[in-house]
Structure 1
Amino acid sequence: MRKNSLLKGLLGAALLFGATISAHAADTLAAVKAAGTLKVGTETAFAPFDFIDAGKHVGLNVDLFDEIGKELGVKIEWVTLPWDGVFPALEAGKFDVVAGPATITKKRMERYRFTPPLAEATIAILKKAGDKTINKPEDIAGKKIGVGKATAQLDQLKEFSDTLPTKAEIREYPAFTESYADLAAGRIAGVANSLPNIAFVAKQREGTFEVVLPPFGKKSYFGFIGLKDADHAPLMDAIDAAMLKIKADGRMATLQKKWFGASFDTPDAVKDPAF
């Protein structure tokens, strides 16, 4: 009798423990609020979204997540790592959401959940100032062009290169800052990145770089990334609501003008990406 009671007690405790774990895992938003901290993963070599200036982490993402933190009532804790390690770290639970941002694509939407867009992500070419050999996107044919490793820009560049009479010689970089250094040194002829990024870099290094217009590829948008499961849905719902509020009251446009020099007319959600 005592043996049966003991077994029933152990079984009941195990079920209670399992239910407690399940409830905790299922309410990521509650866990974030209880801790008072939202952990955000990113790289710091993607100006003007995230970069290091005078030893300090700055950029649109930093300012925007400060506003999101205010709306959620939590502090922001940044976790930085190379871009190609960001998605595996998110899935391993190293942080709650990815700042990045990342281009919203069909393939990524199959695996991850995106927030409302915060900027356009249409791709363009950055060249050395005074370079007369690249005057339009098609002029990169046969030239060495840098691009970020494991990025949507890489996929678009490859697709565009395949349409040229001579394919571009594509060089992948762990961080865009390295590609800009090689461009300045003349080791490559151009860098393919989103128009907001290279417009910022060209402005910061006027006389060194120029933007090649028009942009090319399909119109796309940047968004923040979270896990696409029921456990994280409440947190992602809260972040979405915060971003839409920030957009509606004008704070988003103010930050876009601060970091890009212009604001973007973005949709509240991207349900069917161009690629």
Structure 2
Amino acid sequence: MRAVLPAAVLLTAPLLAACGSDDPSTSTDAGSAKGNRVGNINIGPEQDRVRAEKDERIAALVPKEVREAGVLRTGLSADAAPPLGFFATDDKTRIGSEIDLATLVADTLGLELDGQIVSWENLFVGLDSGKFDAVFSNVTVTEERKDKYDFATYRLDNLAFEAKKGSGWKVDGPEDVAGKTIAVSSGTNQEKILVDWSERNEKAGREPVSIKYFQKDTDYYLALQSGRIDGYLGPNPTVAYHVESAGQSEVIGTLSGAGGDLQGKIAATTKKDSGLVDAYAAALDRVIADGSYAKVLKRWGLSGEAIEKSEINPEGLPRP
């Protein structure tokens, strides 16, 4: 179920000098939250975000009308889950890895970040209408989306298998899930991958996967701890966050969100031929080089999804 959240939040850039989800819930109470922390992650309103300095050369790449406005109008998904985007413990301050990365880009471009929270589908409506200059919201590059949008990559798109801590189970391929009971969200890319793996196991004479579906993340957490399921396959960021917060499970394997031999990639998204994608890629390369990008990923437990360089419109997930 998708939560109904406020339509817009203004995230101002000059603060401190030093920062389509498949998950149906944005709750932060599934694990060992203590005060303003979940494990090692700060979920309080005082974020002390990692910040970047304006780069005049890169800022000059921004189209004149955006430079003169001084604002980077950015779409953020209301449907995101921790650690990508969620509300802090005060229930009004929007925090998460996507906001932090958008902030670094806006800083580098010398712009104020105007982060507007809308539903997933309205992210693209906002780009189409010119309401948004960019979307930073866990958008995967696909060949179909490249028809209408330009992309500058900033993170790998990975999935993760989660199991009870100490299971002694590792997943590297289809044979490792044969005969296992695994939960997955219906209608997602990870479901397609799991179904494909199960079919491949059957063709190879191995046991199929018993696939289970739950409406809420808390349901699969309980099923995992009680032993009713062996594992869960979901987006790596949300799995990593749950592992960090609950302390009762572990990541036992990761794979590309694209499946097969293609590495899926998450990217800053802008309307095709808007003139902004070169600026985004250059800004991302700048914060990768100065280390601020790595600090952001580390604070949200996403270092394993780091990239070495931003790519413009790389190969995306194939057309349906």
TM-score normalized with structure 2 length: 0.61
User: Which range is displaced more, 190-199 or 66-75?
Assistant: 190-199
For 1:28-87, what per-residue CA distance to the aligned partner results, in whole angstroms no more than 9, with x for missing partners?
933333332222112253322222221221122222222211222221112223334433
Name 2:298's counterpart in structure 1.
Answer: 257
* Structure 1 CA distance for aligned equivalents of residues 191 and 314 of structure 2: 22
Relative distance call for 1:61 and 1:186 in structure 2 (3 A) is same
Structure with higher Rg: it is 1
3-state SS, counterpart of residue 139 of structure 2: strand
Of residues 159, 170, 176, the one that matches 1:123 is 159
Name 1:220's counterpart in structure 2.
Answer: 264
Relative distance call for 1:103 and 1:205 in structure 2 (3 A) is same
1:60 and 2:97 matched? yes
User: Which range is displaced more, 136-145 or 38-47?
Assistant: 136-145
1:105 and 2:142 matched? yes
Relative distance call for 1:79 and 1:245 in structure 2 (3 A) is same
Name 2:315's counterpart in structure 1.
Answer: 272
Residue pairs, 1:64-213, within 5 angstroms: 64-115=101-152, 117-129=153-165, 136=171, 138-139=176-177, 143=181, 145-147=183-185, 152-165=189-202, 166=208, 169=211, 171=213, 178=216, 180-186=217-223, 189=229, 190-207=231-248, 209-213=249-253
Q: Judge conservation of contact 2:85–2:95 (CA < 8 Å) in 1.
A: yes
Relative distance call for 1:78 and 1:261 in structure 2 (3 A) is closer
1:237 and 2:237 matched? no
Q: Judge conservation of contact 1:122–1:215 (CA < 8 Å) in 2.
A: yes
Q: Judge conservation of contact 2:268–2:280 (CA < 8 Å) in 1.
A: no
Deviation of residue 121 (structure 1)?
A: 1.7
3-state SS, counterpart of residue 109 of structure 1: helix
3-state SS, counterpart of residue 204 of structure 1: helix
Deviation of residue 274 (structure 1)?
A: 6.7
3-state SS, counterpart of residue 75 of structure 2: strand
Q: Judge conservation of contact 1:128–1:184 (CA < 8 Å) in 2.
A: no
3-state SS, counterpart of residue 61 of structure 1: helix
Relative distance call for 1:261 and 1:71 in structure 2 (3 A) is closer
Name 1:42's counterpart in structure 2.
Answer: 76
Q: What letter corresponds to residue 35 of structure 1 in structure 2?
A: A
Relative distance call for 1:80 and 1:170 in structure 2 (3 A) is farther
Q: Percent identity, aligned pairs only?
A: 22
* Structure 2 CA distance for aligned equivalents of residues 79 and 172 of structure 1: 30
TM-score normalized with structure 1 length: 0.70
Tell me the C-alpha RMSD between the 2 structures.
3.4
Of residues 287, 309, 312, the one that matches 1:246 is 287
* Structure 2 CA distance for aligned equivalents of residues 169 and 90 of structure 1: 36
Give the number of equivalent residue pairs. 237
User: If each structure's helix is expressed as a fraction of its own residues, which one has the higher value?
Assistant: 1
Q: Judge conservation of contact 2:158–2:254 (CA < 8 Å) in 1.
A: no
Q: What letter corresponds to residue 314 of structure 2 in structure 1?
A: K
Deviation of residue 206 (structure 1)?
A: 0.9
Q: What letter corresponds to residue 268 of structure 2 in structure 1?
A: F
Unaligned runs of 5+ in 2: 1-61, 203-207
3-state SS, counterpart of residue 127 of structure 2: helix
For 1:126-163, what per-residue CA distance to the aligned partner results, in whole angstroms no more than 9, with x for missing partners?
2455668x7536437674523375x6545544544543
Relative distance call for 1:87 and 1:237 in structure 2 (3 A) is same
Q: What letter corresponds to residue 220 of structure 1 in structure 2?
A: G
Relative distance call for 1:267 and 1:182 in structure 2 (3 A) is same
For 1:165-200, what per-residue CA distance to the aligned partner results, in whole angstroms no more than 9, with x for missing partners?
335546487xxxx4x222123298444333344223
User: Which range is displaced more, 249-258 or 161-170?
Assistant: 161-170
